């Protein structure tokens, strides 16, 4: 799929100023193109008319995949600003299954790896929690068998008109296509950690 088509599909399907990866791509550049459509607020741009974000439930249960991530390996020494996650401050955690592979540049990411990226709004309020899980070979071969979810049990007031009070989007929902379309531009579908906060 071409970069142009990927970005169009991603913006139309999910636009929460949120997708996977950090601002650094596999080649050190911006995988989303010079205009950085993965950052900012694509909801406000509303590129296709209508409501690309869709309706959200009024309440969600606890985090499923990725629960307990706070006790996992933290891959950064401090939060950093990720323009591909809406300019929010983020951290990255990886479970024991995949931590060593994540830290090794060319290692294959094993099935069962879970990566969790909590985020914070500019005022310090909790933002979405972004989750990826590497699943078995027949899960989604077109996307390297990655599962994605976006979990935000208490949406910030400025987003509630678009998103409702709570969001829990998971694969195979089209609402995570934006994540997929950004991640496919990174080596191993991972965005990496900026060198200045890398903990490994």
Among 12-26, 98-112, 177-191, the range with the most confident prediction by mean pLDDT is 98-112
Phi, psi of 176 (to 5 degrees): -100, 5
22 pLDDT higher than 90? no
Backbone region of residue 189 per phi and psi (left: phi > 0; alpha: psi in -120 to 50; beta: other values): left
Domains of the chain with CATH codes: 3-197 (3.50.70)
Compute the average pLDDT of residues 173-197. 91
Query: Residue 5: what pLDDT?
Result: 39
Instruction: Take residue 200 and report the two structure tokens written for it.
Output: 């490994």
DSSP lists the bridge partners of residue 48 as: none
Compute the average pLDDT of residues 166-194. 92
- The half-sphere exposure of 21 on its side-chain side, counting CA atoms within 13 A, is 29
Cα(81)–Cα(170) distance, integer angstroms: 24
Cα separation values, 46 from 9, 19, 43, 119, 128, Å: 13, 16, 5, 23, 20
CB of 87 within 8 A of CB of 128? no
Tally the residues of the chain. 200
Report yes or no on whether pTM surpasses 0.95: no
Instruction: Take residue 63 and report the two structure tokens written for it.
Output: 């985090």
Could you tell me whether strands 73-74 and 80-82 are parallel, antiparallel, or unpaired per DSSP bridges?
Answer: unpaired
Q: What is the mean pLDDT of the chain?
A: 78
Query: Residue 186: what pLDDT?
Result: 87
User: pLDDT tens across 35-72, in order?
Assistant: 433 444 444 333 333 333 444 445 688 999 999 999 99
Phi, psi of 81 (to 5 degrees): -85, 120
Compute the average pLDDT of residues 80-106. 95
């Amino acid at each position: 799929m071409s970069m142009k088509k990927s970005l169009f599909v991603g913006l139309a399907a999910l636009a929460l100023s949120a997708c996977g990866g950090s601002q650094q791509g596999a080649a050190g550049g911006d995988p989303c193109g010079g205009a950085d459509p993965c950052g900012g607020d694509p909801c406000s741009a509303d590129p296709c008319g209508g409501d690309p974000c869709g309706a959200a439930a009024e309440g969600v249960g606890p985090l499923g995949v990725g629960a307990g991530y706070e006790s996992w390996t933290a891959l950064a020494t401090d939060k950093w600003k990720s323009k591909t996650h809406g300019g929010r401050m983020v951290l990255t955690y990886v479970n024991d299954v995949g931590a060593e592979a994540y830290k090794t540049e060319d290692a294959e990411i094993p099935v069962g790896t879970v990566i969790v990226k909590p985020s914070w709004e500019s005022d310090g309020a909790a933002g979405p929690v972004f989750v990826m899980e590497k699943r078995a070979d027949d899960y989604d071969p077109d996307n390297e068998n990655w599962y994605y979810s976006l979990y935000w049990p208490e949406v910030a007031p400025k987003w509630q008109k678009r998103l409702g009070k709570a969001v829990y989007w998971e694969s195979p929902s089209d609402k995570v296509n934006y994540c997929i379309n950004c991640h496919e531009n990174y080596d191993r579908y991972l965005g990496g950690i900026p060198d200045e906060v890398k903990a490994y």
